[in-house]
Amino acid sequence: MKLVILYGPPGVGKLTVGRELAALTGFKLFHNHLTVDLVAAVFDFKTRPFIDLRERIWLMIFDRAIEEGVEGMIFTFAPDRTVREDFIQDVINRVERAGGEAHPVHLGCDLEELLRRVQEPSRSNKLQSAEHLRDSMKTYKTKLPPLDRDPLTIDNTHLPPAEAAAKIARRLGLTLPTSA
């Protein structure tokens, strides 16, 4: 498996770039909000049951995708203090122990653009307020804890999503899976 971990703050374009990257590569897109929305339907965000179930679901998906031979996957992720420090390194290790590759990719943009983007109407079921973004930036980590490699960093302040995805694919040497 080749796993691309797109991470960054809310509103930076992880899902939008992830969709473009999936279209380019044929990789499966595992968007963070699929799990967050599922668990939040029953348990409040930041509660122990929410945190535990969210991680268990994430890991079950990664483990099963490895087991079933999924060739490529993109995971979107907004680091926050409720996620254990070594979670992403653990995911990287799981993929690599199975003979795969894992590539952390940090998406970023300047604050003014981020504050503009977060208010876009397309962000249904997501944080949509500049004020709430400023508050949440206090709890979201701007970068991951140290990993065993440096992430690819893409500033997409002025880069359209398709171009950001193409840049990621080129830099990581991603190609269409053989089954596509």
* Tens-place pLDDT, residues 89-130: 999 999 999 999 999 999 988 877 777 767 666 645 555 555
Q: Return the pLDDT at 24.
A: 95
Percentage of residues in the chain having pLDDT higher than 90: 62
Domain 2-10+23-156 has CATH 3.40.50.300: yes
Q: Return the pLDDT at 41.
A: 95
What is the domain partition of the chain in residue ranges? 2-10+23-156
pTM for the model: 0.84
CA distance 16 to 76: 10
Q: Return the pLDDT at 154.
A: 94
Which tens digit of pLDDT belongs to each residue from 43-70? 998 899 999 999 999 999 999 999 999 9
List Cα–Cα distances, 136 to 16, 69, 71, 85, in angstroms: 20, 36, 34, 18
List Cα–Cα distances, 33 to 15, 54, 130, 141, 152, in angstroms: 9, 10, 19, 17, 23
